[in-house]
Amino acid sequence: MATVKERPRLGGRSARIQASVHEAVEQLSAEMDRSELAIPAIAARAGVTPSTIYRRWGSLGDLLADVAVKRLRPMADPLDTGSARTDLQAWTEQFMEEMSSEVGRAMIRDVFSSPVETNACQCCAYTYEQLQTIADRTAGRGEAGFDVDEVVDHVVAPIMYRILFSGRPMDMDYCDALIDRVMPGCE
Amino acid sequence: MATVKERPRLGGRSARIQASVHEAVEQLSAEMDRSELAIPAIAARAGVTPSTIYRRWGSLGDLLADVAVKRLRPMADPLDTGSARTDLQAWTEQFMEEMSSEVGRAMIRDVFSSPVETNACQCCAYTYEQLQTIADRTAGRGEAGFDVDEVVDHVVAPIMYRILFSGRPMDMDYCDALIDRVMPGCE
DNA sequence: TTCTTAACGCAAAGGAATTGCGTTAGTGCG
DNA sequence: CGCACTAACGCAATTCCTTTGCGTTAAGAA
């Protein structure tokens, strides 16, 4: 239930256990189906007692959400391909493929399996930052940029909606068409 | 983990139990927090044994998803206000408010708390049908219509994205702006 | 180094999930 | 209409997950 609160103890044992538990979750969710993933098994793999996990994360849902948010965090800045248009295309393609994949969809689902709404917001913040980074580059190049909010509403949102709800397959042509709507006249 | 499969027995006791369990879920989820909602309690309220629920729905997640999808089903056709534009505005306003509400968000969450992807697709199908109904009316009126897919991508998707991820509040002006993008020139 | 206390391990207790078996009641056939 | 068939249910025992009290360990501060 719990909080996954900011913990005043970040060093040594606490950090070691957190890393160990996260790794155990990643390993086990790759080995078995999500429905048979249980906290005692995770604890055993991580080399801790179950009560440690219960006290620190509260429930399986919170733990999975915590791990998913961590994995959803982009590791690098979006690729600089020379123009806002191509940057956006490259980023969108990667985003769409990662989120559409089996593990991507599982992570998104995990994010929602916790009552803590902060998790979903955090994911949203990640994509917003990435897009802002691309947008900021345009200023240094003096080219026509784009509005980040518009990209979120009309490129990111439709992609996520298809993944989560309609299940309709997408290709790069579809993504390009979405980008066209927020960057008109930049063929 | 189960299936919520189509059951060959639709009459009498089976139907009675299903209705009773659904009602128990609705009652209890209004009375207590989702985190303390448990199958034994639901079974007691519904007047059945827990094993009945486990066998029929598999898990709490599947049961909640089943109930949520049923409640998400629209009860009536979208209001006919005389034009496609106003129909769309009326429908979007209602959709946005229902989904943004506390119970709406809880139901969406429940839909994802089951590994069965069919549930989310079903919800998507509901909105698609509603929009199609509005679109079909335009044919009988000879007015400029709209593309349902476009409305899903650029009106429904942004709204859902804000509810699920960014948490950003919305008003009717925002929705109208979204509609403008898919129905240009119809001020 | 020493003190304080957050975080962990252990173990017991409580509750939920699973399953075998007998019973009830839809459904279809004669 | 009555009978056979079997899906679905109730009951109860078992297993596993979850919670909690208490003693111990180790991180952070003085």
What does the DSSP assignment read for chain A? ----PPPS--SHHHHHHHHHHHHHHHHHHHHS-GGG--HHHHHHHHTS-HHHHHHHH-SHHHHHHHHHHHHHS-SSPPP--SSHHHHHHHHHHHHHHHHHSHHHHHHHHHHHTSS-THHHHHHHHHHHHHHHHHHHHHHHHT-----HHHHIIIIIHHHHHIIIII-----HHHHHHHHHHHSTT--
Range of the domain at A129: 72-182
Clarify whether residues B164 and B90 are in a common domain: yes
Only one residue has tokens 């960057």, namely A183
Distance in angstroms (rounded) separating the CA atoms of residues A66 and B23: 33
Among the residue ranges A4-18, A149-163, B69-83, B110-124, the one predicted with the least confidence is: A4-18
Rounded to whole angstroms, the distance from the CA of residue B77 to the C1' of nucleotide D28 is: 63
CATH number of the domain that A35 lies in?
1.10.10.60
pLDDT for position B148: 97
Output the six-digit token pair for A126. Answer: 């990640």
pLDDT for position B128: 98
Question: On the CB side of A135, how many CA atoms lie within 13 Å of its CA?
Answer: 15
Q: Does residue B118 sit in helix, strand or coil?
A: helix
Distance in angstroms (rounded) separating the CA atoms of residues B139 and B70: 30
Examine residue A110 and state whether it is found in any structural domain, yes or no: yes
> Closest-CA residue in chain A for B175?
A153
Q: Give yes or no for CB of A14 within 7 Å of strand C.
A: yes
**Ranges of chain B with pLDDT below 70:** 1-11, 185-187
Clarify whether residues B90 and B168 are in a common domain: yes
Which alpha helices (DSSP H) does chain B contain, by range?
12-31, 39-46, 50-57, 60-72, 84-100, 102-112, 118-141, 148-151, 157-161, 172-182
Distance in angstroms (rounded) separating the CA atoms of residues A10 and A45: 22
Mean pLDDT value across chain A = 92
Examine residue B3 and state whether it is found in any structural domain, yes or no: no
In order of B32, B157, B166, the CA distances from B26 in angstroms are: 10, 27, 28
Distance in angstroms (rounded) separating the CA atoms of residues A43 and A50: 5
Residue A53, nucleotide of least CA–C1' distance: C8
With left for phi above 0 and alpha for psi between -120 and 50, is residue B12 left, alpha or beta? left
- Looking at the predicted structure, is the pLDDT value of residue A3 above 60? no
Clarify whether residues B97 and B155 are in a common domain: yes
Q: Does residue B32 sit in helix, strand or coil?
A: coil
Clarify whether residues B42 and B126 are in a common domain: no
Clarify whether residues A53 and A105 are in a common domain: no
pLDDT for position B1: 41
Clarify whether residues B78 and B109 are in a common domain: yes
pLDDT for position B2: 36
Tally the domains of chain A: 2
Examine residue B146 and state whether it is found in any structural domain, yes or no: yes
Q: Give yes or no for CB of A49 within 7 Å of strand C.
A: yes
Clarify whether residues A81 and A146 are in a common domain: yes
Examine residue B178 and state whether it is found in any structural domain, yes or no: yes
Clarify whether residues A28 and A104 are in a common domain: no
> Do residue B160 and residue A165 have CB atoms under 8 angstroms apart?
yes
- Sorted by sequence, the CB contacts under 8 Å of residue B82 that are 6+ apart come out as none
What Rg, from alpha-carbon coordinates, does chain B have?
A: 19
Nearest chain A Cα distance for residue B134, angstroms: 19
Examine residue A163 and state whether it is found in any structural domain, yes or no: yes
CATH number of the domain that B97 lies in?
1.10.357.10
Examine residue B2 and state whether it is found in any structural domain, yes or no: no
Examine residue B187 and state whether it is found in any structural domain, yes or no: no
Clarify whether residues B53 and B84 are in a common domain: no
Examine residue B136 and state whether it is found in any structural domain, yes or no: yes
Residue of B57, B128, B165, B178 to mutate when probing chain A, most A C-beta within 10 A: B165
Residue B54, nucleotide of least CA–C1' distance: C17
Clarify whether residues B36 and B118 are in a common domain: no
The predicted model gives A76-81 an average pLDDT of: 96
The predicted model gives A54-65 an average pLDDT of: 97
What Rg, from alpha-carbon coordinates, does chain A have?
A: 19
Only one residue has tokens 């007691």, namely B44
Clarify whether residues B104 and B52 are in a common domain: no
Clarify whether residues A93 and A148 are in a common domain: yes
pLDDT for position B8: 62
At A10, is the pLDDT very low, low, confident or very high (cuts 50, 70, 90)?
A: low
Of A34, A123, A158, the CB nearest to B153: A158
Nearest chain A Cα distance for residue B161, angstroms: 6
Distance in angstroms (rounded) separating the CA atoms of residues A64 and A37: 10
